[in-house]
């Protein structure tokens, strides 16, 4: 079978790229993390975060990957946004491979600052 290149990079490949880059610099990251359900969101079913950043056993951030063609500025109005933000954890949106370098830099800097603050 001949491989046909997709027009857009699938979000799974974007997740894989972020996962690889973050692991490569020693940041603990996990894919498809299942969190407790939030009342009113998908009938209380568990939330599944695309990636979570973990420092010292604590979830420091959530990264959600979406297709570039569906980019909308997060408003806090969608059910997914409200549910995810209800956990009180930083939430970053990644809309394709072109966002990966910026997300990577924001995460590495955030982890560095968090660790430095913990030492004080």
What residue ranges define each of the domains in the chain, with the CATH number in brackets? 11-119 (3.40.1350.10)
- Give phi and psi for 68, each to the nearest 5: -55, -40
Q: What is the pTM of this model?
A: 0.83
User: Which residue numbers in the chain have pLDDT < 50?
Assistant: none
Please tell me the number of Cα atoms within 13 Å of 63 on its side-chain side: 27
pLDDT at 70: 55
pLDDT at 113: 92
pLDDT at 71: 53
């Amino acid at each position: 079978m001949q491989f046909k290149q997709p027009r857009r990079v699938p979000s799974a490949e974007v997740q894989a790229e972020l996962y690889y880059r973050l692991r490569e610099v020693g940041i603990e990251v996990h894919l498809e993390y299942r969190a407790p359900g939030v009342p009113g969101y998908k009938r209380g079913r568990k939330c599944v975060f695309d990636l979570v950043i973990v420092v010292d056993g604590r979830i420091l951030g959530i990264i959600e990957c979406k297709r570039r063609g569906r980019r909308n500025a997060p408003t806090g109005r969608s059910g997914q946004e409200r549910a995810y933000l209800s956990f009180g954890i930083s939430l970053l949106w990644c809309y394709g491979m072109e966002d990966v370098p910026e997300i990577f830099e924001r995460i590495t800097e955030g982890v560095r600052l968090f660790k430095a603050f913990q030492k004080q």
